[in-house]
Every structure is written in C-alpha cells, then in structure tokens.
Amino acid sequence: MPPPAAGAVLLLADLHLPPGPSSLRERFIAFLRGPAADAQSVYILGDLFEYWIGDDVGLEVYAAECAALLDCTRSGTRIGFMHGNRDFLVGERFAAATGVALLGEPRHLHFGGVATLLSHGDRYCEDDVAYQRWRRFARNRVAQAGFVALPRRLRERIAGGLRHRSADAQRGKPEQITDVSTAAIERELERHGCTRMIHGHTHRPAEHALAGGRERIVLADWRPRRCEYLRLTGADWERRLVGGPAAK
C-alpha cells in the first residue's frame, strides 16, 4: 500500500466484530459506505474481527463486510489492514477478495509531515511475559499452517476456548502489565526516527506525551453505543464517531 495521498486519512482498531448478528457489524458497513468512501486512505490496525480461524471460514462468515470492503476499495479508497491478536490468520485470500493491502508491523508513514509509526500495539506489552510467549507461538508460520488444516468445528472450539482463557487471564493481571511499555514505545520511535505512535489493542483511548516532544495516540475499541475512529487531515487529527459528531 503506497503512502497516503493528500486528503483525509482514517484509522481504527479493535472493532472485534462478532460472527453473529451485531450492531457493530452494521456500524462497520455504515463506516465503509460513509466516512471511508470519502477518505483517501483507511488503516485498520488489528482486531477487526473477534476471531478469524482462516480465510476459508472468515470469508464466508463475514461475507457482507468483505463485500463492503471491496466496494470501498473499488471506489478509490486505499485500505490497509494490520494483524491484531485476534485476527492474525487473515491472509492473502482475504486481501484478494477485498482489495485490502496487508501491512507489516510497525508501519512507518508520514501524515502531514509528521513521521508516524502505526502498530496494533500488543508487541509493546513487554511486561506481560506470558502473553509475549503466546504471541511468538501464534505468529509462527508452521503453527498457523497446522491450525488452519484442522476441521472447521475443531478450530472454532479452540478459538472459543482461547478467548475465554484470555479473558480470565486478563482479569487476573495488574493494569500496568496489560498496557504497553512506555520505554518500549520510546525505543521504537527512536529507532525509526518518528515523533508519533498510533496504536490500538489496549482499549484505553488516550493521548500520551512522551520524552523528546513525542506523542502516543491510542485508538478506541468499538462498543455498541460508541464506534470511534481517528481522522487525520494534514498534521491535525480528531476523534470521530460513526454516525455522529466528533468524539470528546
């Protein structure tokens, strides 16, 4: 996916669209037909789906969303997708069916002259040692190939069990462990020569001032009554709601 052209750039993450009927799914399609259709570029920074157990299943379960994504990219909006911790199995069949570009992480771009890094964010939760161990295993190509070769029902059962165990584990961890490491973010910005990081994952939307005049912007997770995205125009940005005014 080439660098964004002049015009509005939209970023969002952590929609966690469920496999069944949901207002979240309806809002996402409304987003693609509304704000996204009028934007130059859209960046989805992971966890678009609650889980994705392979392109063979996901393209069927989320057929309406995939069709809306294809309509949006065909209309001229460039859409990039970055893997999250729930949908790291999104693959080339999805990209071909939707016209969406699969992005590496972190992604170094310039928005309005501001050198910016994009990330899902989970890689910077360095204090959560158990999670980082799981992340390395889940991103292993051999492990992924073995999983998607399993029967669909078995994959669904495994994914459901992992979600429940993850939720239980998160409840038992101190908040600072499940958040990103400020030191890790600052190291990454320094390494890439960037002054701004935009990420999701933590479900803690906020703006953080960092050393050296740098900043970290955390995207909001989607909820039935609040579906938020970030809109960049040049060097300026604001939080907006799908079907509503600017977020506060």
Residue 86 annotated as binding site? yes
CA distance 32 to 54: 23
Residue 144 annotated as binding site? no
Residue 225 annotated as binding site? no
Give me Rg for the CA atoms of the chain.
17
CA distance 73 to 181: 35
**For 198, phi and psi rounded to 5 degrees?**
-120, 125
Residue 179 annotated as binding site? no
CA distance 66 to 73: 11
Residue 55 annotated as binding site? no
Residue 85 annotated as binding site? yes
Residue 208 annotated as binding site? no
CA distance 177 to 129: 9
Residues present in the chain in total: 248
User: Which residues does 44 contact at the CB level (< 8 Å), separation at least 6?
Assistant: 11, 12, 13, 15, 79, 80, 81, 82, 100
Residue 56 annotated as binding site? no
CA distance 81 to 55: 14
Residue 201 annotated as binding site? yes
Residue 170 annotated as binding site? yes
Which residues belong to the annotated binding site for substrate? 85-86, 128, 166, 170, 173, 201
Which residues belong to the annotated binding site? 14, 16, 47, 85-86, 120, 128, 166, 170, 173, 201, 203
Which residues belong to the annotated binding site for Mn(2+)? 14, 16, 47, 85, 120, 201, 203
